[in-house]
Structure 1
Amino acid sequence: MTTLPDRPHTALLVIDVQNGVVAGAHDRDAVIANIDTLVAKARAEGVPVIWVQHSDDHLAQGSDDWRYVPELVRDESEPLVHKNYGDSFEGTDLEAVLAERGVGRLVVTGAQTDACIRSTLHGGFVRGYDVTLVGDAHTTEDLSAYGAPPPAQVIAHTNLYWRHQSAPGRAGGTVDTADVTFAPSLVA
């Protein structure tokens, strides 16, 4: 149960599944297929699908790398949130988009696990949202050359630690695509 009053609805967030972000991502095709499944399910259930798109000095707005992967097609009626920081809430209108729709629970998918996904999980949680991570619908690139664990370990660790997140009046959690429900959490 979210701490946000009068916000009983759930939204699916699709974060940064852009050509340049996921080009070398771990299990790219399987993750994108899972996200596509969730988008179709959300649409069929009348659940808002919110698309988040990153740009910065290395990911120029309007470039091919900046565009969403062709396998995922946003409906023109679905909000698109442009961001320049890891946390999808920072410097964006995401909070206003969610408030307009009465959303108090987020189901999170996308890239990159160890950057924008983690930042958005925590950003939503500290703002009072229930936040569910879809464990097989997020990915990252291999940054082991820079000292990071291999991508599969980064993903597994994120799934593990987010599975047990809780705070007064709100909850985190990790589920696989097949187990996603868009019903609100019932944490007290």
Structure 2
Amino acid sequence: MTTLENRPNTALVVVDVQSGVVQGNYERDAVVANIGALVDKARREQVPVVWVQQTDERLTRGSDPWRIVAELTPDEAEPKVEKYYADSFEETTLESVLSERGIGRLIVVGAQTDQCIRSTLHGAIVRGYDATLVSDAHTTEDQTEWGAPPPELVIAHTNLYWTHHEAPGRTAGTVVAKDVDFGGTAS
């Protein structure tokens, strides 16, 4: 369990599922559908959904590329965290949002697998959170022209190493969307 005291609650953290981030990404529609199903499930179970949005020179606040994809609609009452770095915790309000709600366990979904998802997972673990990656609810773009593996291999590798990630007093792991249990622990 989390090393954070008095933090028994779980949150679904939706990272950078923005029009300008996921456009053309690997299995984009299936990933967005899985995220949508998880958002619906979290809401039904009264589990907080936290929306994280990247802001930078390409994703300017309020622009179409900056907006959450049309298939997903954040509720007005759900926290929104603006970020400027890959790690969703770095110089953001995410920690205070989670602390205020007694959250010590994160279910992480979104984009890009090889940037913001990896950084946020590691950022969570080093800060004392339990962090579960939903293996079929994150995606990335094709960066093979710069020497990266194809997106499906980036995703598979991230799922592999996060399944076996360990840290003292914290749990990591992966789960497929249909098996997410907002009340249990990572597998």
User: Which of the five TM-score ranges fits, normalised by the shorter chain?
Assistant: over 0.9
Deviation by residue 1:82-108 (Cα, 9 ceiling, x = unmatched):
000000000100000000000000000
| Structure 1 SS opposite 2:26 | coil
User: C-alpha distance in 2, partners of 1:60/1:20?
Assistant: 10
2:103 corresponds in structure 1 to 103
Between the aligned partners of 1:100 and 1:176, the Cα distance in structure 2 is 28
Q: Please give the residue correspondences for 1:1-188 in structure 2 after superposition, counting only pairs within 5 Å.
A: 1-185=1-185
Residues in 1 aligned to 2:139 and 2:67: alpha-carbon distance in whole angstroms:
17
Write the distance in 2 (CA, Å) between the matches of 1:140 and 1:154.
8
What does the per-residue CA deviation read over 1:151-185, in whole Å, with 9 as the maximum and x for residues that have no partner? 00000000000001111110110110011011143
Percent identical pairs in the alignment equals 65
Q: Are the counterparts in 2 of residues 10 and 184 from structure 1 also a CA contact under 8 Å?
A: no
Deviations 1:26-82 (A, max 9, x none): 000000000000000000001000000001112211111011100000000000000
Could you tell me which runs of 5 or more consecutive residues in structure 2 were left unpaired when the two chains were aligned.
none
Partner Cα separation in structure 2 for residue 36 and residue 154 of structure 1:
22
In the TM superposition, structure 1's runs of 4+ consecutive aligned residues that sit over 6 Å from their partners are: none
Paired residue type of 2:103: V
Unaligned runs of 5+ in 1: none
Q: Deviations over 1:120-178 (max 9, x none)?
A: 00000000000000000000000000100000000000000000111111011011001
Tell me if the contact between 1:51 and 1:78 (Cα under 8 Å) persists in the aligned partners.
Answer: yes
* Conservation of the 8 A alpha-carbon contact between 2:25 and 2:142: yes
Contact between 1:9 and 1:184, CA under 8 Å: does it hold in 2? no
| 1:98 alignment partner, SS class | helix
Distance 1:130 1:95 in 2: 13
